[in-house]
Amino acid sequence: MASVGIIAEFNPFHEGHKYLISKAKESCSDGAVVAVMSGNFTQRGTPAAFDKWHRAECAVKGGVNLVVELPVVFACNSAEFFAKGAVDILEGFGGIDKIIFGSESGNLDELTFVAEQINRYDRIIKYEAMNSLKEGISYPKARELVIKKYIEDIDSCLMSEPNNILAIEYLRKIRNLEPITIKRQGLSHHVSGTEERRKLEKLYPGRYESIEQNYYNLVACKVLESNVAWLENIFLSDSGLSGRLKRYIRYSSDVNDLIEKIKTKGYTRTRVSRLLTQILLGIDKDILNGANNYIRILAFDRKGAGFIKEIKRKASNILPIITNINKELDCLPEVASLLEKDIMASDVYNLLTMNDLYSCSDYIKKPFKDYDV
């Protein structure tokens, strides 16, 4: 029985997600639909609209059979690392056959060709893109220009549209999964989610302004207490960014003001946004050295429970499966550095949202079980 994986943030859960899930179900008949989901912080570096437990529950109620967490080290990062972490988890089950994802292109052959060519010229692309930074352009733009240099007649949309970029990175990382892409329907990237978040702001007046201000206050404290060398060692930082942070932190009034002051042609808004969360959580350049990924369960229904049971029976999983960190954290030292950042991310998120630090902590919360489906 074929099972299929999807990668999403469900921030919040919307019609686009329902469409993707329906296509996933079509592709796997009676198999399980497994979602890898960002935790309490998104790829753009911002706190999620709702905590990971709530969003995982919504996903299961929306048709997903099993939701697992993408560690924050990968989730709050570039498309390359986001894709690597998520694909590694799906392949780490040892029992998922396919992966389905949206793209603006909708043309799998076209996307696969570009992915193969980027892998072919990977070292050259990275080398020339880094050299191009001296010209004051951002790394994503420099990389796009270098790729166009080595891949003739490439459609510029393939390297500029967000879902195409992620799709290409998924294809670069896939080893054992059958890829399927579906053309995004209707509105462009982030629009569905943005519209849903606007509705939430009306439903919960003041909630998100409060979260944003609390976030800024915590980030400001961390930047003020840290020296330039420590800031420079954060994953997405460098000497220029760390210097700008120390220079402008006292002259900003909120997080958007801070980002506007720090960003330049070479330092994109998205990079700065991710950097702030990495600073808050202490995600440094050494975090991935010797650290292993893992499968951490957030929510499941009866079919998802059966899928996990079968994986464990066959012992097909390459990565460890975590359901109770109180029991498993000390037994799995190889995943501790990444898992501890997820625990910290939950604690910080609870501070931002003024949730109870005990009852809402990762040590207390348990995976959501929906057996009524």
The pLDDT tens digits along the chain (373 residues) read 689 999 999 999 999 999 999 999 999 888 999 999 999 999 999 999 999 999 999 999 999 999 999 999 999 999 999 999 999 999 999 999 999 999 999 999 999 999 999 999 888 888 888 888 777 788 888 888 888 888 877 877 788 889 999 999 999 999 999 999 999 865 544 455 667 777 887 888 888 999 999 999 999 999 999 999 999 999 999 999 999 999 999 999 999 999 999 999 889 999 999 999 999 999 999 998 878 999 999 999 999 999 999 999 999 899 999 999 998 888 898 999 999 999 999 999 999 999 999 999 999 999 999 976 4
Give me the residue label for tokens 């060519």.
117
Please report the pLDDT score of residue 288 as a whole number: 87
Is 286 within a domain? Answer: no
Is 198 within a domain? Answer: yes
Task: Provide the 8-state DSSP code for 176.
Answer: S
Please report the pLDDT score of residue 144 as a whole number: 84
3-state secondary structure of 350: helix
Is 224 within a domain? Answer: yes
- Cα 115 to Cα 87: distance, rounded to the nearest angstrom: 15
Please report the pLDDT score of residue 373 as a whole number: 44
Same structural domain for residues 89 and 7?
A: yes
Please report the pLDDT score of residue 189 as a whole number: 44
Among candidate residues 243, 258, 281, the one where a domain is terminated: 281
Please report the pLDDT score of residue 190 as a whole number: 47
Q: How many CA atoms lie within 13 A of 276 on its CB side?
A: 32
- Report how far Cα 216 is from the mean position of its chain's Cα atoms: 21
Q: How many CA atoms lie within 13 A of 274 on its CB side?
A: 23
190: containing domain: 1-104+171-205+291-373
Q: How do strand 295-301 and strand 66-70 relate by DSSP bridges? A: antiparallel
Helices (H), the chain: 15-28, 52-61, 72-75, 79-92, 108-120, 122-132, 139-150, 162-173, 191-203, 207-225, 228-232, 239-248, 255-262, 269-281, 302-314, 325-328, 336-353
Is 331 within a domain? Answer: yes
Same structural domain for residues 317 and 336?
A: yes
- Cα 342 to Cα 185: distance, rounded to the nearest angstrom: 33
Nearest partner of 293 among 227, 337, 352, 344, judged by Cα? 337
Same structural domain for residues 234 and 191?
A: no
CA dihedral 219, 220, 226, 229 (to 10 degrees): 80
Same structural domain for residues 296 and 350?
A: yes
- Cα 14 to Cα 29: distance, rounded to the nearest angstrom: 23
Please report the pLDDT score of residue 192 as a whole number: 57
Nearest partner of 352 among 242, 147, 214, judged by Cα? 214
- Cα 189 to Cα 165: distance, rounded to the nearest angstrom: 11
Please report the pLDDT score of residue 187 as a whole number: 53
